[in-house]
C-alpha cells in the first residue's frame, strides 16, 4: 500500500492541473444524481400504483432545485405545485413537511411560516432523501391523495435511496 500512495498522489497532481485547466467541477460530489432521483421516482410510482392513488412526485437536490418530476395520469393538476413545494420545504428546513406543519398550527411557534419563501407546503408528504452515508442529498414531495397516502408514497421513494425502512 505504501508505494501506491505517492504514485496515486502524483497522478492526482498531474490530473488535477489538467482537470482544473479543463474546467471546474459543476456539481458537488455526492449530490443526488439523475439516476438516483429516477430510482426515487420509480419506487414512489410503484407504491402509488399499489395503493391505486394517482400522484405527483417531485425530487429536488441538496440545493433544493428540481431534479426529476412525474405526474401520474388523473393526478390533480393543483398537486404539481404542491409536490414541488413539499420537496423544497422539506429540504429548506431539513425535516419532513409533517413535522414542520405540526409546528405551524395556530398557537404554535412557527404559526404563519407557510407565507414565507413564496409559499411553503406544511402538510405531510415531503420527506428528506438521505443516502447510505447519512448525507441529506435532497428530498421528495408527493401530492395527490390524502396526506397520509402522500406521506407513505414519499417514504417509499426515500427508502429507495437510503436502502432502509426508516
Q: Please list every residue from 21 through 50 that binds a copy of itself, using CB under 8 A.
A: 22-31, 33-34, 37-38
- Which of positions 124-143 make contact with a copy of itself (CB under 8 A)? 124, 128, 130, 133-137
- As a whole number of angstroms, the distance between CA 72 and CA 78 comes to 13
* Span from 8-16, 75-83, 152-160 in contact with a copy of itself (CB under 8 A): 75-83
Please count the other Cβ atoms lying within 10 Å of the Cβ belonging to residue 140. Answer: 34
- Return the residue of 43, 44, 61, 96 that touches a copy of itself, per CB under 8 A: 61
Residue pair 32/133 in contact (Cβ under 8 Å)? The answer is no
CA dihedral 56→34→154→117, nearest 10 degrees, is -70
Minimal distance, residue 2 CB to a copy of itself, in Å = 28
Read off the C-alpha cell for 145: 391523495
Please count the other Cβ atoms lying within 10 Å of the Cβ belonging to residue 87. Answer: 36
- Which of positions 93-112 make contact with a copy of itself (CB under 8 A)? 93-94, 101, 104-107, 109-112
The answer to whether residue 73 forms part of the interface with a copy of itself (CB under 8 A) is: yes
Amino acid at each position: 500500500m505504501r508505494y501506491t500512495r505517492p504514485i496515486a498522489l502524483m497522478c492526482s497532481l498531474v490530473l488535477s492541473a489538467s482537470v482544473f485547466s479543463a474546467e471546474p467541477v459543476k456539481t458537488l460530489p455526492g449530490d443526488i444524481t439523475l439516476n438516483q432521483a429516477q430510482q426515487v421516482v420509480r419506487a414512489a410510482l410503484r407504491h402509488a400504483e399499489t395503493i391505486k392513488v394517482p400522484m405527483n412526485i417531485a425530487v429536488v437536490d441538496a440545493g433544493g432545485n428540481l431534479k426529476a418530476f412525474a405526474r401520474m395520469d388523473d393526478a390533480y393538476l393543483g398537486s404539481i405545485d404542491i409536490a414541488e413545494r413539499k420537496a423544497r420545504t422539506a429540504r429548506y428546513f431539513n425535516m419532513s413537511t409533517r413535522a414542520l406543519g405540526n409546528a405551524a398550527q395556530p398557537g404554535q411557534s412557527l404559526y404563519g411560516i407557510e407565507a414565507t419563501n413564496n409559499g411553503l407546503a406544511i402538510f405531510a408528504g415531503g420527506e428528506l432523501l438521505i443516502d447510505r452515508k447519512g448525507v441529506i442529498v435532497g428530498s421528495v414531495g408527493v401530492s395527490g391523495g390524502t396526506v397520509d397516502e402522500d406521506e407513505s408514497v414519499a417514504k417509499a421513494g426515500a427508502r429507495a435511496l437510503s436502502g432502509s425502512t426508516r
